[in-house]
Structure 1
């Protein structure tokens, strides 16, 4: 018989911690879906910078309501008309109160007998209004229009898309035909029709947005709902007797959150440009009220001699549009599981 193998107590000595084969180390903390999306968004420098620019512009625009009265924006001051920008301590021509006239730099503040200590950091328009104040107020109006478009996207668009995708069949067919009819009518035509009933201004713009802005969101939500309603967790909820409303709120909306956020970020710049375009061509907000479109319309009349009156609102509008578009691209990459790094 073979000799039995005898094991000594030394054979059972524990290995050093570093040599344990099953020694596992968690390399990174566990992250939720939102935390992981925020981590990937922070890796996109352009989107992150755009995010903070938008936050800053919203704080400044809406905070200006505390120190800018609407009456000061509509009350003309002809003695201060068409003054260039003047920033104390800045000796650069164009920002020191001087304007180029017939090839010579002329101090417009002295020529117009502006009191010492009175200056406008972005100049004035042809009625003597502070251009900086009007830009702040116009930015606030543009952001309000964007918030209104977002509201209709999140209410009508999301609800319409979920109902259409969830019900399916004839209900879905009828609801999609309604969307096609609405989408086939240009937004400009809707605004013109609104002008028959309403006067030009915020009301007609909001009415046009309420009628047509939510259709893209509804289509995207409907397409995602058609996929999600066949998932196991939705079928399990239906078999347990959950109502369609609870299923939509607890299961569909959380899984549609990435689509909703991304589409909202693209809706906002579209709404801002829509308002600016309507005001620019004269069928939106009109003087003495102000918006970025109104400022562009007023500035282009004097562009040959006073280009700053158009450049400043145009720069603010471009920054808003670019920031929202870059943030939208960043959110799309952050919430898309296929683009995980």
Structure 2
């Protein structure tokens, strides 16, 4: 029993530098919070594809002043021409339409030169519908982005102050929000039109005046949770000012809520602009927006449906893509909300 057990000399082998000792090691790669969110977003194929669709649409729209410089250039001789793509002999894209029960080449009938073609057709004034859709998309995106920027600046600051101060200040500020939410956007828009001439500015102001309240409520709710966290209490104990605590601790932790809400606010602003322009109190001619293009197209929808379908399709794609991307961002920033 007391005899010592001796191991053979070849029981152990020296470890070489090239030996892969971690082949069976199980460990996830080290990532930051944003890197982890980006990884989850890329795994969500629908959201990732929607993001690239929006990027492509934005690139085409914001480069339209260079690629499509004359959206308001009218030529009555080219009025109501159907779409024509060179080399494509498919009805609806070959420049023909039905007239008197027969298919007629509208480009030959209007003596349009062979080198001249309009991929998405023309409107009732002979303006290129493709160029006007590009410019209209740019205007609609600009309105959505500027209105959302104002929404961020007001809503985030308002929500943080309301939750941080608490007490009577919070009570009064929340009652103000309830009053603002009780006023319909359309009423604000009509009142602004009495003061400001029609255009982009009153639409942006009408959206910004009312829509920031949702951002403020979400920010307030999240800040109420964060202000009781240990690191915030520690910062207060160390004597840091409220401004520094907001910048260093609150805003970084509110970023996911802010980004997600922004993704929902932009399409809502774009749709509101389209609705106002469609009913005639938004963007005024000759400026194009998706709403004005749909409004112009519906007048000839029975005979020239493409004039309404194309801008409506672009608007639908933008709305759907933004909402799918917003859902994907929500799941990426907070996996607990994932429905998969």
**TM-score normalized with structure 2 length:** 0.93
CA distance in 2, matches of 1:79, 1:33: 59
Q: Which residue of structure 2 lines up, in the alignment, with residue 291 of structure 1?
A: 289
Q: CA RMSD in A?
A: 2.0
CA distance in 2, matches of 1:23, 1:42: 27
CA distance in 2, matches of 1:11, 1:221: 69
Q: Which residue of structure 2 lines up, in the alignment, with residue 246 of structure 1?
A: 244
Q: Which residue of structure 2 lines up, in the alignment, with residue 173 of structure 1?
A: 171
Q: Which residue of structure 2 lines up, in the alignment, with residue 94 of structure 1?
A: 92
CA distance in 1, matches of 2:337, 2:184: 35
Q: Does the CA-based 8 Å contact 2:330-2:337 persist in structure 1? A: no
Cα drift, residue 68 of structure 1: 2.7
1:140 to 138, 141, 145: 138
Q: Which residue of structure 2 lines up, in the alignment, with residue 197 of structure 1?
A: 195
Instruction: Render the CA deviation track for 1:92-126: whole Å, top value 9, x for unaligned.
Output: 01111101112211101111111120010000000
Instruction: Render the CA deviation track for 1:169-222: whole Å, top value 9, x for unaligned.
Output: 111111111111111000011001101101221111011122112110110000
3-state DSSP class of the match of 2:103?
strand
CA distance in 2, matches of 1:23, 1:280: 63
3-state DSSP class of the match of 1:105?
strand
CA distance in 2, matches of 1:12, 1:88: 80
Structure 1: any 5+ residue segments left out of the alignment? none
CA distance in 1, matches of 2:229, 2:335: 18
Cα drift, residue 129 of structure 1: 0.4
3-state DSSP class of the match of 1:205?
helix
CA distance in 1, matches of 2:257, 2:10: 57
Q: How does 1:147-296 map to 2 (within 5 A)?
A: 147-296=145-294
Cα drift, residue 12 of structure 1: 12
Structure 2: any 5+ residue segments left out of the alignment? 16-21
Instruction: Render the CA deviation track for 1:68-107: whole Å, top value 9, x for unaligned.
Output: 33xx333321011000000000000111110111221110
Q: Which residue of structure 1 lines up, in the alignment, with residue 18 of structure 2?
A: none
Moved over 6 A (4+): none
Q: Does the CA-based 8 Å contact 1:152-1:213 persist in structure 2? A: no
CA distance in 1, matches of 2:202, 2:101: 45
Instruction: Render the CA deviation track for 1:291-316: whole Å, top value 9, x for unaligned.
Output: 00000000000001100000000000
Cα drift, residue 237 of structure 1: 0.5
Q: Which residue of structure 1 lines up, in the alignment, with residue 19 of structure 2?
A: none
Q: Does the CA-based 8 Å contact 1:82-1:124 persist in structure 2? A: yes
Q: Does the CA-based 8 Å contact 1:135-1:292 persist in structure 2? A: yes
Q: Which residue of structure 2 lines up, in the alignment, with residue 48 of structure 1?
A: 48
Q: Does the CA-based 8 Å contact 1:202-1:285 persist in structure 2? A: yes
3-state DSSP class of the match of 2:38?
helix
1:309 pairs with 2:307: yes
Cα drift, residue 267 of structure 1: 0.3
3-state DSSP class of the match of 1:106?
strand
Q: Does the CA-based 8 Å contact 1:98-1:105 persist in structure 2? A: yes
Cα drift, residue 29 of structure 1: 1.1
Q: Which residue of structure 2 lines up, in the alignment, with residue 62 of structure 1?
A: 62
3-state DSSP class of the match of 1:96?
coil
Cα drift, residue 337 of structure 1: 3.4
Instruction: Render the CA deviation track for 1:21-72: whole Å, top value 9, x for unaligned.
Output: x997243311111111111111111101100000000111001112333xx3
